[in-house]
Structure 1
Amino acid sequence: MICRRTGRLGRVTLNRPSALNALTLDMITLATRTLREWLTDSAVELVVVDGAGERAFCAGGDITVVHGAAEGDQRIAKELWRAEYELDALLAHYPKPVAFLMDGIVMGGGLGLSGHHRGLRIVTERTVLAMPEVAIGLAPDVGGALLLTRTPGLLGTHLALTAGRIGPGDAIACGLADHAVDSSRLPEVLGALERGEPLSELTYPAASPLLGDGPWIQACYSAPTVTEIRKRLRARPEPAASEAANAVDSASPTALAVTLEALRRARTMTDIEECLVQDYRLCSRFLDSPDLAEGIRAAVIDKDRAPHWNPASHEEVSAEAVASYFEPLPEGELQLPPRPCGPTTR
């Protein structure tokens, strides 16, 4: 993590390009401390968050830490999540404007950083955005359920249950980004931000293929259960629906059922803090599930892409088992600091 001031800008650069700028506890701690210091620094009028290299803004949290915790000391992952969620909430309510240069891969924790602070979330033709948690036996966290329920129709449910990847136009259409620029013009964007100039001449209109799929997505994902969603997807004539069914079939049945319930509960939530408390409960419970360690093994450790889920079928996931993930934690809930106060130039 590199934090520095450049003129009127406070610059935060995620600096693990070889790991797709995945977040470590040290990175999160430094960013949080620096952002709190800048709250009262009148020289910092606007914060810019970007990622080193050309491949990723941020691919999420350090998944190897989570894998180790799932197989050993759970406190390590829980400490990472608590710190990450505090940073997400801080950025969501930051009283100064924040620009996120979401160039390249933006997944999981990367969306938690950028998704909740609207106005200057900038994507490029290289942006690939996703919440891929169900593919590793987990549910979307970092307030992702709140973001996904605010997409048009049930696009967010489709993205969550398929771990679907979208580009810049779809990101903007789903309310997960604000402006598209060509990656070659990012230095010009930085210059304009430093001078306090508008970005309108640098942006371009990005098309959204996903919006055209809205009707069949609505018809399929309005079903009450994952089992019924799968049936409806298989019955559709669109090739994209068949691809979606394949994606759902490859994910953890438990993670899918918990995710669907989490999205539905998020519809009544009004702020990120409420969602993050739910996320912490779910992630803590997934540490006790065999699917999380197995999913990370198959996707990241051994990379055989052949996880063995337990239970293996959707019919074996009971409503009682899903409900248990949402019960209060016996060891205590997530406690987030008060919302930040400070001079605002927004």
Structure 2
Amino acid sequence: MRDHSDQPGGEQPEVHVERRGRAGYLTLNRPRALNSLNHHMVRRLTEALTAWRADDSVEVVVVSGAGERGLCAGGDIRAIREDARSGGEASLAFWRDEYRLNALVASYPKPYVALMDGIVMGGGVGVSAHGRVRVVTERSRVAMPETGIGFVPDVGGTWLLAHAPGELGTHLALTARAVGAADAVLCGLADHHVPADRLPELRDALAEERPDRALARFATEPAPGELAGQREWIDRCYAADRVEDVLAALLAEDLPEAKEAAEHIHAKSPTSLKVTLRALRLARRLGGLEEALEQEFRVSSAALRSPDLVEGVRAQIVDKDRSPRWSPPTLREVTDEDVAAFFAPSPAGTLFG
């Protein structure tokens, strides 16, 4: 089955839907935008997954991105910024459907194979890292970069990062750093490494055989990562529950990697940093992904009305001057009451209630 019906005038669909053999293929198809997700794409993915869940002829689902630059660079943050500037609520509707899609991926009853080649960030993590079979390549760069744009990890990212070994997830969340294949596997964001030039063969093989059998032929060991050798200082420095204490611990280390991490954190939104650390700590005590997504929906709803989201996207994406003017500009000025407000019930209601 090939589906081009959701685009007018014969244009290529933003999500290419195909059935071949035992597999259903979903290809994010906005390569010029690094396959960034919009609301239509989220709905199309949900529609296909819901239909295939009840279709016995579909035994495995394969998700990939068009082009060679990446699976998905995240949500359409330019549109979210414009919505925030205008006081709109379109982003709330988008997040509601996106987070429900993340939960659907995590609970999917059939093997869900995500080919996480190239850039996989934000919303791209949401449609891949919750799947049952997650494949990275030597080109993979996986990240939750939200603190750099005045936002907070979402799409279940707080759940994933909170359950990474030790404090690796806290390190990734606060610095917004991207990791390669070996470190993605170490952090629990991926399962297997397949060389990028073998992905087309793997993708085709899944139409005929089970994922475990196909991966037995194509999976290889990734090149060594960096984080395994840094666990000692990362676990020590990020154990604190205050961002100020994390920074002090990093600066006290006589290691260039720790001081570099501190520099990255200093550049991020002070409000986003404090809310992110609080969200991660709370996520560790939640009962499951859906509870974490509910929490993230409250946080995202509050962030939509925060000046740092508009300013962060302006500085990093729109004007690209890389000089955001955060408000408040320092960690000291972000109060406990400011942070607590992000976790208050959203006027938009709940996701699953």
State the TM bucket, normalised to the shorter chain: over 0.9
Asked if the contact 1:74/1:287 (under 8 Å) is kept, the reply is no
Structure 1 equivalent of residue 165 of structure 2: 152
For the pair 1:117 / 2:131, whether they are aligned, the reply is yes
Structure 1 equivalent of residue 221 of structure 2: 205
Counterpart amino acid of residue 322 in structure 1: V
Mapping of residues 1-346 of structure 1, within 5 Å = 1-118=15-132, 120-196=133-209, 197-206=213-222, 207-329=224-346, 331-336=347-352
Counterpart secondary structure, 1:21: coil
Q: Which moved more, 1:122-131 or 1:30-39?
A: 30-39
Asked if the contact 1:124/1:183 (under 8 Å) is kept, the reply is yes
Pairwise CA distance, 1:203: 1.1
Counterpart secondary structure, 1:199: helix
Query: Could you list the per-position Cα deviations for residues 120-145 of structure 1 after superposition, in whole angstroms to 9, with x for gaps in the alignment?
Result: 10000000000000000011000101
Pairwise CA distance, 1:224: 2.6
**1 or 2 for the larger relative contact order (CA 8 Å, sep ≥6)?**
1
Counterpart secondary structure, 1:151: coil
Asked if the contact 1:65/1:76 (under 8 Å) is kept, the reply is no
Counterpart secondary structure, 2:24: strand
Asked if the contact 1:143/1:276 (under 8 Å) is kept, the reply is yes
Pairwise CA distance, 1:258: 0.2
Asked if the contact 1:180/1:204 (under 8 Å) is kept, the reply is yes
Pairwise CA distance, 1:332: 4.0
Aligned residues: CA RMSD? 1.1
Pairwise CA distance, 1:238: 1.3
Counterpart amino acid of residue 14 in structure 1: L
Query: Could you list the per-position Cα deviations for residues 57-112 of structure 1 after superposition, in whole angstroms to 9, with x for gaps in the alignment?
Result: 01111111110111014311111111111111111101111100000000001111
Rounded to whole Å, the distance in 1 between the matches of 2:40 and 2:162 is: 31
Pairwise CA distance, 1:335: 2.5
| TM-score when normalising by structure 2 | 0.93
Asked if the contact 1:254/1:314 (under 8 Å) is kept, the reply is yes
| TM-score when normalising by structure 1 | 0.95
Asked if the contact 1:277/1:333 (under 8 Å) is kept, the reply is no
Counterpart amino acid of residue 242 in structure 1: K
Q: Give the 4+ runs in structure 1 shifted more than 3 A.
A: none
Asked if the contact 1:85/1:142 (under 8 Å) is kept, the reply is yes
Structure 2 equivalent of residue 340 of structure 1: none
Query: Could you list the per-position Cα deviations for residues 191-235 of structure 1 after superposition, in whole angstroms to 9, with x for gaps in the alignment?
Result: 332221331231111223211111101111112311111111111
Rounded to whole Å, the distance in 1 between the matches of 2:257 and 2:300 is: 30
Say how many residue pairs are matched: 335
Asked if the contact 2:297/2:351 (under 8 Å) is kept, the reply is no
Pairwise CA distance, 1:251: 0.1
Query: Could you list the per-position Cα deviations for residues 28-58 of structure 1 after superposition, in whole angstroms to 9, with x for gaps in the alignment?
Result: 1111111111111111110000000010101
Structure 2 equivalent of residue 343 of structure 1: none
Q: Which moved more, 1:306-315 or 1:182-191?
A: 182-191
Pairwise CA distance, 1:333: 2.3
Rounded to whole Å, the distance in 1 between the matches of 2:187 and 2:351 is: 29
Asked if the contact 1:9/1:47 (under 8 Å) is kept, the reply is yes
Rounded to whole Å, the distance in 2 between the matches of 1:78 and 1:256 is: 22
Counterpart amino acid of residue 220 in structure 2: Y
Rounded to whole Å, the distance in 2 between the matches of 1:336 and 1:327 is: 16
Asked if the contact 2:74/2:122 (under 8 Å) is kept, the reply is yes
Asked if the contact 1:127/1:167 (under 8 Å) is kept, the reply is yes
Counterpart secondary structure, 1:35: helix
Rounded to whole Å, the distance in 2 between the matches of 1:234 and 1:58 is: 34
Unaligned residue ranges in structure 2 (runs of 5+): 1-14
Q: Which moved more, 1:199-208 or 1:239-248?
A: 199-208
Unaligned residue ranges in structure 1 (runs of 5+): 338-346
